[in-house]
Amino acid sequence: MVVTAGMVAVVAVVASVDMVGTAGTDGPWKMVQNLTIPRAGPFSGDASVAGRALPWAPDHLRHATGATQAKGDRSRMSLMQNAHAINADLHCHSTVSDGTLSPRAVAELARDAGVAYWALTDHDEVGGQAAARAAAEEFGMRYVPGVEISVTWAGQTVHIVGLQIDPFCPDLIDGLTNTRTGRARRARDIGEALAKVGIEGAYAGALKYVGNPDLISRTHFARWLVDQGHCATIGDVFSEYLSEGRPGFVGHRWASLAEAVGWIRTASGIAVMAHPGRYHYTDTQHDALFDEFKSLGGGAVEVVTGSHTPDQYRRYAEVARHYGLLASRGSDFHGPGEGRVELGTLPPLPSTVTPVWHDW
């Protein structure tokens, strides 16, 4: 076999993908052979995405077009490489839910970070979708309409992201409207619960941080508590006051898993299990959650997210393969400096999984 410069570049990107993946000890060529090839059909994406360079792809992939793609096996391999090399950030928030920036400002940051495929996934709300799409198109990113739905499953909260949804779908809009109902009541109860441990005025305080009156979240309380000096960080507020079992926690029943997946599918979208590494289920419950998600028609799982450690990237890459789910990648960005990672800066997906965007 003649090894060309292009092949070496492919190996280079596979090797970088596998820094977080399951490279094993076989070396880069073995990794290339082990690639999961997506289902048949041409890669409909454009690796250069409206002329924008992909910062981490080798040169021959950055500027690849349909016309210049190689044929046969090499083409299939490079299709998969293209998909993994795309900087997709498919999970983040704006002031329409509990983020600190407008949809347009989030889009600007995504563009600056070199994001090529971008989804705004506000909690239980699609009110930011039109502004997000307009900004993404202006900035040369491919826009992926999204949402993150709050679900109660086995007594805990699970989040289901919907991607490629039709944000005008009446069933989805009605379902989300019902899911949001109750947030205001819960927020007043959180205020009262905090007052019992000596923190007065939290409800009124949190309201000042709310961008969408329909969507008051624990995050708004957390920002107020930090600014009032009760805790140093938002994470500290959750562990001290707002997480389950803490004095400011107020339980709430969200949508069912079947409802959330159903609304997303009715809206022609793909349901994605969000940040599964964050849930506190037993192994049996964990498996039952994925079994049910899969049988309801769930299509993907977040593997690389701001909520996962590198060990969890590997664990959920295995889960994706076990359940035949596609893999997603998203920062869960809420505002500059607030989370563990900034927009568009996560490592690529492990090469063993098929990106949810492989055929977009």
One-letter amino acid at 227 equals D
- Closer residue to ligand AMP in complex, CB, 35/120: 120
Which listed residue (275, 308, 329, 334) binds ligand AMP by CB under 6 A? 334
DSSP line for 224-287 = HHHHTTS-SSHHHHIIIIISTTSTT------B-HHHHHHHHHHTT-EEEE--GGG----HHHHH
3-state secondary structure of 355: strand
Q: How far is the CB of 218 from ligand AMP (least distance, A)?
A: 4
One-letter amino acid at 294 equals K
Spatial distance between the Cα atoms of 168 and 288, rounded to a whole number of angstroms:
32
Spatial distance between the Cα atoms of 61 and 41, rounded to a whole number of angstroms:
19
Binder of residue 235, out of Mn ion, ligand AMP, none (CB less than 5 to 8 A by kind): ligand AMP
Is residue 150 within 8 Å of 186, Cβ to Cβ?
Answer: no
Binder of residue 234, out of Mn ion, ligand AMP, none (CB less than 5 to 8 A by kind): ligand AMP
What phi, psi does 273 have (nearest 5°)? -70, 115
Q: How many residues bind ligand AMP (CB under 6 A)?
A: 10
Is residue 357 within 8 Å of 88, Cβ to Cβ?
Answer: yes
Spatial distance between the Cα atoms of 324 and 335, rounded to a whole number of angstroms:
33
Residue 100 binds to ligand AMP (criterion: CB under 6 A): no
Residue given tokens 């995050």 in the structure block: 219
Residue 305 binds to ligand AMP (criterion: CB under 6 A): no
Residue 234 binds to ligand AMP (criterion: CB under 6 A): yes
**Window contacting ligand AMP (CB under 6 A); options: 61-69, 197-205, 231-239, 346-354:** 231-239
**Window contacting ligand AMP (CB under 6 A); options: 9-17, 126-134, 198-206, 211-219:** 211-219
Q: How far is the CB of 237 from ligand AMP (least distance, A)?
A: 8
Q: How far is the CB of 139 from ligand AMP (least distance, A)?
A: 25
Q: How far is the CB of 57 from ligand AMP (least distance, A)?
A: 31
Which listed residue (81, 217, 305, 328) binds ligand AMP by CB under 6 A? 217
List interacting residues with ligand AMP (CB under 6 A): 98, 123, 150, 217-219, 234-235, 238, 334
